[in-house]
Structure 1
Amino acid sequence: MLKQQFLRRAAVLFVIAMVVPLIAACGSQAAQQPIKETVVVKETSAPVKETVVVEKEVVTDASFTTAHPILGDVKVRQAIAYCTNRPELIKSVYPFLTEEEQKGLLMDTFLPKNHWAAASDGVTVYDFNPEKGIALLKEAGWEEGANVTTGAPLFLKFTTTSAAFRQTWATVLEQQLADNCGITISRTHAPASWWFGDTTGLARRDYISLYACNQIPLPSNNWEGQNGMGWCNEAASKAIIAANNTLDRDERIKQYAIVQQEFSKDMVSLPLFNRVEAAAANVKLVNFKPNPTEYYTYNIEEWELPGKDTAVLGFTQEPASLYTLVESAAVATTAAGLLSAKMVTSLDYDYQAVGFTKLPKLGDGATNVDIDVKAGDMVWNTAGEAVALAKDVEVTDATGATVVWDGSSPLKLKQLTVSFEMKPGMKWQDGSPVTKADYELGQKTTCDKESGATTFTFCDSVQTFTQESDTKQTLVFLPGVQWPTFYTGGFGAAPSKQPIESDGPYKGKTLADVPAKDWPTLPEVAEKPWSNGPYKITGWEKGQKMTFEANENYYGTAPKIKKIVIQFYADTNAAVAALLTGDVDVLGTETLGAGAEVQTVVDAAAKGKVQVKTLASPTWEHIDFNMFVK
């Protein structure tokens, strides 16, 4: 291995991990630079939702042009990439994967390689090449020297969480950079309880704007920007604007490719690898096909367990409710999903029609036309809010340009209209049809501000909702709304005629009679909702298990397994033990995840005792570079 020391001033490097990589949106304003950042961290209950929050210096000058003394040089950032042996990092945390599986986790941009918009042509690939890294460092002015007393070594501060997973690969990274290229890093591992937060960190971060020029934190925007790296690339900015202002998928792919090419060339962030999730099952279970971007029960009606009519799923967390409008935990979504007729699936970073006759597209179920707007009209502004058009309101006009309206000039915006057609024959578990009134109740409750929902963004973006029949729904969005995934669905149905049998003020009435504010606490909604999906709930022993039986009135293919039991376990070790003894048939990604228990399951699979599926999840590990100081 190459061992040497480079001399110069100290620098700061910080690392974060983030979920579901998405393309960034970028404005066309001139590049402005952020101040140097100090990493601060908080806690959240969702450990994959990670980022940094910063303490900022008090600065009055709105223009920042001073590049970071080390990381402001693209050659140094590229050198770090070449000096990092990413396959070795992957092996350090996922030794149970085969070499081919480990290789499949590598990323070259912010998109997984199997994403529909992932680019390959023109993308700069940083294979492990320390000689090239050293050459770049020399070009950047970092001369070798054995006597460090004449200058400070190339020294970087590195901050991430204290999770054992990150401590493992960060330790390997530290050794790699030192041995391969003479780069010293000082690691700080902050406790997770300090790193995550529901009201800070990722909860505030908009990944559509992560790499945007107009998202660089500045005094002028009250330090509200998301682009802590300070990257602003004109070609990427123009491509992002073009991509985000067209609903033509081929054009979006073309523009997203430009963003990825510029991203990799400038080495804004060093993509390390996709994180792994694992799911395991009874070795005899047929058609168990977990997917990285869909819940593993998406095809549960196709599962088959020869010789058995019951399958047991192991959970280590009990759902708080089956009302997913207010309860979004994975265990709740998985359980509630057994009761719902799927309209779409989201396999392999894309979407497929299931309950819809087709996915609408422009010219076939959807239109996107230019319309004139005037003062007082409700429009969608660039902040993603429904507002009355007035002087100084900022919008994206029909050409894709960001416009601050002057209050009098003619203005045209895009208006999107989408129609969804549902397959006929859908029924509730009592045999009654899913009707127009059910969809109208679903929309009314979902958009009721007292429903308990935490966001109403989609509701607010809709100008008119029309359930034209039992099987057709049309949405007209506010001028300016351009949802890229407009084709994935509108509002779902709620069983308006479901009788209320629980004690209370609504006993003897129907669900349509219950105000939205009381739905979260109503047993008929939270614990025993009617089903139009493949299964219906028949029992819930709190703290023990949930029982589901095949819905004989399901419009789709009748489930081959007639009963599903969700059994609750104290922890993953107990759930894995139950799988190995045959008491559990399936452990999904929300239970098994990617912890140490995966090795136990992989070893059992090698002996033919269980089947295990390892997935490259949408979550990715990467290193972000602090490019500017002031």
Structure 2
Amino acid sequence: MEDYTTPHPILSDVRVRRAIAHCIDRDALIASVYPYVEDPSALLMDSFLPKTHWAYRGPYDFPWYDPEAGKALLEEAGWVQGDGPVRTNANGEVLSLKFTTTSAAFRQTWSQVMIQNLAQCGIQIIPTYAPASWWFGDTTGLSRRDFELGAFAWVGQADPAGRTLYACDQIPLPSNNWEGQNYMGWCNPVASEAIIRANNTLIREERIAAYDIVQREFAKDVVSIPVFQRAEAQAWSANLSGVRPDPTEYATANLHEWELADGGDTIVIGMTQEPDSMWALVSSMAAQRLVDRPGVGMLYTQYSYDFQPVLQDPLSTIESGLATNEVVEVSAGDKVYDATGTPVELAAGVRVIDSEGKEVEYSGEGTVQMNQLTVTYKLKPTTWSDGTPVSIEDMKLGVKIDCDPDSGATTFDLCNRIGDLENDITYSDSELAMTIKYLPGNQYPLYFLYPFSIYPSQRVLSDGRVLADVPAAEWATLPEVAERPLSVGPYYVKEWNKGQSIVLERNPYYEGEVKTPNVIFVFVADTNQAVAQLLNGDVDFLDPSTLGAGAEVQTVIDAAESTGSVQYYISGSPTWEHIDINLYTK
């Protein structure tokens, strides 16, 4: 018999799985790693989606802490408490389970509390704290389903995705070369069909309905226990107002709304990291984004696991009428987006997703019906910080540079979804708009977001060249791109004093209100120094990437309570800890 197709003698019983969930005091687990969190409910989950997610429609009936209910379920399942500390069944077998996770101190701390919780219900847990290289290895640990109970983290995204995690055909097995991430071996036909449907439609309400089904089945079957969202904290001076904390958007996205109560004209933000570049195409640092959002400008924001238009307006959804998803017939030689997300020429043996959402193999003859997205993207009329209006040429330059292999871009995924950048993108003659015809088979869930950058094509460089004429390979070293880019946002980068600070000044051509005209990002050695400067009044704000979630947060809380000089906000981050339950055994 194939490995991991034999039902686990203990964990295949849903009563035992529900009992395990009932016996874990998740509030206590949170307190063990975040002792300063006053309201642990803000970090608790009853689904694989955070409660603020657009696809969450809970609450769901996930088993909460109730050890008496857990003990009753274990008795019902035949696991009785005798004279010893560990339950046994009629065959004298003990209720003992192996728990595997990484050797990180954070996980060892909360899991020790969990082990004590389960012991109180008569469940023996044997822990293994493995090196991350083994636990997350390509041929070991999770990828080979080598666990009974296994803890690790996922990061929540605006697009819930989930097919590789919860569909029946995504269970890693020797026979499928261990493909998929459904490490639990969960095959619930109702949930599987719904997760596939959720990922085969681009209509928001249809996706919400499908995800709701999956979440209800997830709570019913208890194949994975969402332990908690990791905490993140930010803090700011009591003199500062307008801060909008959010788990999925950088704090400075609404920097133009921040205001100093004493009438000051300069906000100081402390950061423990310095950006490596102001060119977002080649940098993924949080420090870069914190400066970039207000200092270069945004096409859209990403609050609460969703998107809101800014320079792009409106979002180009099918519901808005700016996008269509039509069924087309493709045949041999046509360029398509295959089932693995790779642009290929259709030929015999190529596997694609057809218009009904089924993965099929092309025979080499005839046609296949596939979905094809055509999307129009519109930008508001706006002006660069040098007074030049944004133009169609700026949009064209964005496509050209972002898709140039010599640019140094961190990804070319969106470029690869378009068959021909010259012929499949058309530009308006009357407004800032372009229409893209994507490859058949591309069903990118975030299709409605403007996919490229815009660049000031007319900008004259210090050496006399015009930006549009400079090869992409040189852009990363251009001061006008990497250090002092023009902006369409509320601020622009006035100066960058390497190793010390970045200074932003109000963009004189920004049409919205900017409540505080000057901002300085100062670079500090570490979190301790950052907190000290906040408490001394030298800086006004510390974001989660600087403040972190360690002991320094308690220092801020103590100061807030004793002096009232600072404010703080603690929330659940997109990263959430969970325990997968393997339903099968080797």
- Is TM (by shorter chain) over 0.5? yes
1:388 and 2:336 are equivalent in the alignment:
no
How far apart are 1:538 and its partner, in Å? 1.9
Residues of 2 paired with 1:450 and 1:231: CA distance?
Answer: 44
Give the structure 2 partner of residue 356 of structure 1: 312
Secondary structure of 2:277's aligned partner: coil
Give the structure 1 partner of residue 111 of structure 2: 170
Look up the equivalent residue of 1:107 and give its one-letter code: M
Residue deviations 1:261-299 (CA, integer Å, cap 9, x gap): 111111111011122111111112121111111111111
CA gap of 1:575–1:190, structure 2 versus 1, over 3 A, is: farther
Residues of 2 paired with 1:413 and 1:264: CA distance?
Answer: 34
How far apart are 1:141 and its partner, in Å? 2.8
CA gap of 1:334–1:197, structure 2 versus 1, over 3 A, is: farther
Contact residue 552 and residue 558 of structure 1 kept, 8 A:
no
Give the structure 1 partner of residue 148 of structure 2: none
Give the structure 2 partner of residue 70 of structure 1: 10
Contact residue 438 and residue 496 of structure 1 kept, 8 A:
yes
Give the structure 1 partner of residue 210 of structure 2: 255
CA gap of 1:232–1:195, structure 2 versus 1, over 3 A, is: closer
Which deviates more, 88-97 or 143-152?
A: 143-152
1:404 and 2:361 are equivalent in the alignment:
yes
Matches within 5 A, 1:388-537: 388-424=345-381, 426-463=382-419, 464-469=424-429, 471-501=432-462, 507-537=463-493
Contact residue 94 and residue 102 of structure 1 kept, 8 A:
no
Equivalent in 263, 277, 289 of residue 244 of structure 2 = 289
How far apart are 1:182 and its partner, in Å? 1.1
CA gap of 1:251–1:71, structure 2 versus 1, over 3 A, is: same
Give the structure 2 partner of residue 117 of structure 1: 55
1:220 and 2:161 are equivalent in the alignment:
no
Residue deviations 1:74-124 (CA, integer Å, cap 9, x gap): 2221110011111222233333233xx321221111011121111326x33
Residues of 2 paired with 1:613 and 1:64: CA distance?
Answer: 44
How far apart are 1:551 and its partner, in Å? 1.2
Secondary structure of 2:436's aligned partner: strand
How far apart are 1:620 and its partner, in Å? 1.0
How far apart are 1:211 and its partner, in Å? 2.1
Contact residue 83 and residue 177 of structure 1 kept, 8 A:
yes
Give the structure 2 partner of residue 539 of structure 1: 495
Secondary structure of 1:616's aligned partner: strand
Secondary structure of 1:273's aligned partner: strand
Contact residue 166 and residue 195 of structure 2 kept, 8 A:
no
Contact residue 316 and residue 448 of structure 2 kept, 8 A:
yes
Residues of 2 paired with 1:529 and 1:416: CA distance?
Answer: 33
Secondary structure of 1:338's aligned partner: helix
Contact residue 72 and residue 627 of structure 1 kept, 8 A:
yes
Residues of 1 paired with 2:481 and 2:2: CA distance?
Answer: 52
Contact residue 68 and residue 627 of structure 1 kept, 8 A:
yes
Equivalent in 96, 109, 128 of residue 36 of structure 2 = 96
How far apart are 1:474 and its partner, in Å? 1.4
Secondary structure of 1:169's aligned partner: helix
Secondary structure of 1:406's aligned partner: coil
Give the structure 2 partner of residue 19 of structure 1: none
1:311 and 2:267 are equivalent in the alignment:
yes
1:372 and 2:329 are equivalent in the alignment:
yes
Residue deviations 1:410-464 (CA, integer Å, cap 9, x gap): 321111111122111x122211111111111111111112221232111111232
How far apart are 1:195 and its partner, in Å? 6.3
1:129 and 2:59 are equivalent in the alignment:
no
1:596 and 2:551 are equivalent in the alignment:
yes
Residues of 2 paired with 1:141 and 1:406: CA distance?
Answer: 53
How far apart are 1:63 and its partner, in Å? 7.3
Unmatched tracts of structure 2, length 5 or more: 144-151, 156-160
Residues of 1 paired with 2:538 and 2:427: CA distance?
Answer: 46
Matches within 5 A, 1:174-253: 174-179=115-120, 181-190=121-130, 208-253=163-208
Which deviates more, 509-518 or 372-381?
A: 509-518
Residue deviations 1:290-322 (CA, integer Å, cap 9, x gap): 111111111111111132111111111111111
Secondary structure of 1:349's aligned partner: coil
Look up the equivalent residue of 2:21 and give its one-letter code: A
Contact residue 109 and residue 264 of structure 1 kept, 8 A:
yes
Residues of 2 paired with 1:571 and 1:89: CA distance?
Answer: 28
Secondary structure of 2:395's aligned partner: helix
How far apart are 1:163 and its partner, in Å? 3.5
CA gap of 1:191–1:535, structure 2 versus 1, over 3 A, is: farther
Matches within 5 A, 1:599-610: 599-607=554-562, 608-610=564-566
Residues of 1 paired with 2:264 and 2:5: CA distance?
Answer: 68
Look up the equivalent residue of 2:505 and give its one-letter code: E
Identity among equivalent positions (%) equals 52
Residues of 2 paired with 1:221 and 1:347: CA distance?
Answer: 38
Residues of 2 paired with 1:275 and 1:598: CA distance?
Answer: 14
CA gap of 1:190–1:567, structure 2 versus 1, over 3 A, is: farther
Secondary structure of 2:9's aligned partner: coil
Residues of 2 paired with 1:415 and 1:203: CA distance?
Answer: 34
1:565 and 2:503 are equivalent in the alignment:
no
Residues of 2 paired with 1:613 and 1:208: CA distance?
Answer: 34
Contact residue 324 and residue 336 of structure 1 kept, 8 A:
yes
CA gap of 1:64–1:154, structure 2 versus 1, over 3 A, is: closer
Equivalent in 75, 80, 96 of residue 143 of structure 1 = 80
CA gap of 1:214–1:193, structure 2 versus 1, over 3 A, is: closer
How far apart are 1:197 and its partner, in Å? 8.7
How far apart are 1:236 and its partner, in Å? 1.0
Contact residue 312 and residue 566 of structure 1 kept, 8 A:
yes
Give the structure 2 partner of residue 28 of structure 1: none
How far apart are 1:251 and its partner, in Å? 1.2
CA gap of 1:413–1:193, structure 2 versus 1, over 3 A, is: closer
1:153 and 2:94 are equivalent in the alignment:
yes
Residues of 2 paired with 1:619 and 1:276: CA distance?
Answer: 9
Residue deviations 1:201-259 (CA, integer Å, cap 9, x gap): 99999855122322222233322322222212111111112111112111111111111
Contact residue 319 and residue 331 of structure 1 kept, 8 A:
yes
Residue deviations 1:484-530 (CA, integer Å, cap 9, x gap): 222222222011122222xxxxx321221222122222222222222
Contact residue 53 and residue 305 of structure 2 kept, 8 A:
yes
Which deviates more, 589-598 or 466-475?
A: 466-475
Contact residue 272 and residue 525 of structure 2 kept, 8 A:
yes
Q: TM-score, normalised by structure 2?
A: 0.90
How far apart are 1:595 and its partner, in Å? 1.5
Residues of 2 paired with 1:559 and 1:384: CA distance?
Answer: 42
Residues of 2 paired with 1:445 and 1:199: CA distance?
Answer: 38
Contact residue 272 and residue 524 of structure 2 kept, 8 A:
yes
Look up the equivalent residue of 1:329 and give its one-letter code: M
Residues of 1 paired with 2:272 and 2:299: CA distance?
Answer: 28
Secondary structure of 1:348's aligned partner: coil
CA gap of 1:279–1:204, structure 2 versus 1, over 3 A, is: closer
Look up the equivalent residue of 2:364 and give its one-letter code: G
Give the structure 1 partner of residue 285 of structure 2: 329
Residues of 2 paired with 1:628 and 1:234: CA distance?
Answer: 17
Look up the equivalent residue of 1:105 and give its one-letter code: L
Residues of 1 paired with 2:2 and 2:483: CA distance?
Answer: 54
Secondary structure of 1:347's aligned partner: coil
CA gap of 1:235–1:208, structure 2 versus 1, over 3 A, is: closer
Look up the equivalent residue of 1:624 and give its one-letter code: D
Matches within 5 A, 1:23-62: none
Residue deviations 1:512-569 (CA, integer Å, cap 9, x gap): 1222122222222222222221111122222111111111122x31422111111111
Contact residue 109 and residue 271 of structure 1 kept, 8 A:
yes
